[in-house]
Structure 1
Amino acid sequence: MSLPSDFFGRIVFILQNYGPSFLAGAGKTMAIAVLGTLIGCVIGFAVGIIQTTPESKQDNLLKKVLVKGIKFILNVYVEVFRGTPMMVQAMFIFYGSSALFGINMSIVFASYFIVSINTGAYMAETVRGGILSIDPGQTEGAKAIGMTHYQTMLNVIMPQALRNIMPQIGNNLIINIKDTCVLSVIGVVELFYATKGVAGAYYTYFEAFTITMVIYFVLTFTCSRILRHWEKKMDGPDSYDLATTDTLAYTSGMVKFPDPKEKEGK
């Protein structure tokens, strides 16, 4: 079958003959982006919490030195991975691990590892900012009732910080969906790598990458809508019941915030 001469005819031809290649590449892209973002969030939360751990004057010298040393190492990690391109990191880690340490990473493991630690560096700063954005009075109140630092972070600070940083988590996922294309430099067969193979078969670069651009847009747009819906679910309903067990000061009732559209109508 010969290649059609018109643009849309070539698009249809490519999809008919290489549709599975595009789907396989898109599936690999999403797998790396989603899992890498999840692992990166875990790394980011751990690093962010450690970075915001308060230092007490009552701590012994060994603990102070240990905490400062760990924070310094984590700060170096964050600055290095936020200050260098992921493509360079991929080349350095994949080839450097073999040259320096004799560790022969598989391409699959390397792809997840690189995206995870890169995302972790960005998420660490996001988590740190989210924790610091919470009113210090929340921490003081928790400590006043006898909570430890761990209990305060787990039950008071992190639930509030998580809602504040949800948009950035979604943003990191969308960035990772697009940035997985840089992993093609180490041979990861994701969407971009698959597209290059398809485009080279008939020299239809414009048509092939038009299809890829649409696929990337569908993936990112769908993820952004799902995450936006999740954020609204975390906000809860606009109306809620204020309840109290004190019958002498009963304040239970329906509270509804004014609708901005109603204000504009007035």
Structure 2
Amino acid sequence: MIENFLDSAYVKSLPYLWEGIQLTLYITIVGLLLGFILGAITGLGRLSKVAIFRGISTVYVEVVRGTPILAQVLFIYYGLTAVNIGELTAAIIAIMMNAGAYIAEIVRGAVYSIDKGQHEAGRAIGLTERQTMRYIVWPQAFKRMIPPLGNQFIISLKDTSLFSVIAVGEVLYMAKQYYNTTFEIFETLIMVCIFYLLITIPTSIILRRVERKLDV
């Protein structure tokens, strides 16, 4: 029985899937880090008193949130032919752009949720508006961003499965490569789901604990 299991697709597909899940995590983490920077700038831009910054930020958020990430990655990879973007770069940019739009709303909502008295207190002790944001408002807002940022990680992680359409070697693409030659589709896809669950379930548990600890 053990020998049969070791000789099954559940085990034989592991090297392919392990290679894919590493790239999946790489795309997700790098894309989200860049997306957070973009989202923070855009989120604060939506709160800006300068109309042009607020307008550009709003258009970006609405366009990206209003279109599917699959269309976005196809546009980046096939549409920007003059730039000659590779598969991996296109995938990271797609995660960055897509997650950045949602993170912008997370940032905007978190900053907006801080009581106006905090802003007034900062100004009362002689801080500039920028210093008040940096030292008083932002630290409080960031705590409130942590749970939704964790949820965005899970969403972006699953979104990477769409990048198989441009031959990015993430876990689903590697699974297809394996079962296209072995025809062991069911077993291979079961292992793909297990890989995803081994990441998303612990992440969800950690997020719930962090949320309770931060009391947000």
* TM score, norm. by length of structure 1: 0.75
Counterpart-to-counterpart distance in 1, 2:60 and 2:206: 31
- The one of 85, 91, 95 equivalent to 1:111 is 91
Asked if 1:70 is matched to 2:65, the reply is no
Asked if 1:35 is matched to 2:30, the reply is yes
Deviation of 1:106 after TM superposition, in Å, equals 1.3
CA distance change for structure 1 residues 234 and 176 in 2, over 3 Å: closer, same or farther?
same
Deviation of 1:10 after TM superposition, in Å, equals 6.7
Q: What letter matches 1:189 in structure 2?
A: G
Counterpart-to-counterpart distance in 1, 2:190 and 2:134: 46
- The one of 95, 99, 108 equivalent to 1:128 is 108
DSSP-derived class of the 2:67 partner: coil
Given that 1:123 and 1:169 are in contact with CA atoms closer than 8 Å, whether structure 2 keeps it comes out as yes
- The one of 193, 204, 210 equivalent to 1:224 is 204
CA distance change for structure 1 residues 181 and 146 in 2, over 3 Å: closer, same or farther?
same
Q: Which residue of 2 aligns with 1:172?
A: 152
Counterpart-to-counterpart distance in 2, 1:191 and 1:105: 21
Q: Which residue of 2 aligns with 1:45?
A: 40
Given that 2:30 and 2:92 are in contact with CA atoms closer than 8 Å, whether structure 1 keeps it comes out as yes
State the aligned residue count.
214
Counterpart-to-counterpart distance in 1, 2:26 and 2:7: 26
Counterpart-to-counterpart distance in 2, 1:109 and 1:234: 35
**How high is the sequence identity, in percent, across the aligned residues?**
36
Instruction: Work out which of the two has the higher radius of gyration on C-alpha atoms and give 1 or 2.
Output: 1
* TM score, norm. by length of structure 2: 0.92
Counterpart-to-counterpart distance in 1, 2:124 and 2:196: 50
Counterpart-to-counterpart distance in 2, 1:80 and 1:40: 16
CA distance change for structure 1 residues 10 and 201 in 2, over 3 Å: closer, same or farther?
farther
Given that 1:10 and 1:207 are in contact with CA atoms closer than 8 Å, whether structure 2 keeps it comes out as no
Q: Which residue of 2 aligns with 1:191?
A: 171
Identify the structure with the greater helix proportion: 2
Gaps of 5+ in 2: none
Q: Which residue of 1 aligns with 2:21?
A: 26
List per-residue Cα deviations over 1:29-59 (Å, max 9, x = no partner).
Answer: 1111111111111111111112213x3xxxx
Counterpart-to-counterpart distance in 1, 2:146 and 2:56: 26
- The one of 181, 204, 228 equivalent to 2:161 is 181
DSSP-derived class of the 1:139 partner: helix
Counterpart-to-counterpart distance in 1, 2:204 and 2:33: 16
Given that 2:47 and 2:108 are in contact with CA atoms closer than 8 Å, whether structure 1 keeps it comes out as yes
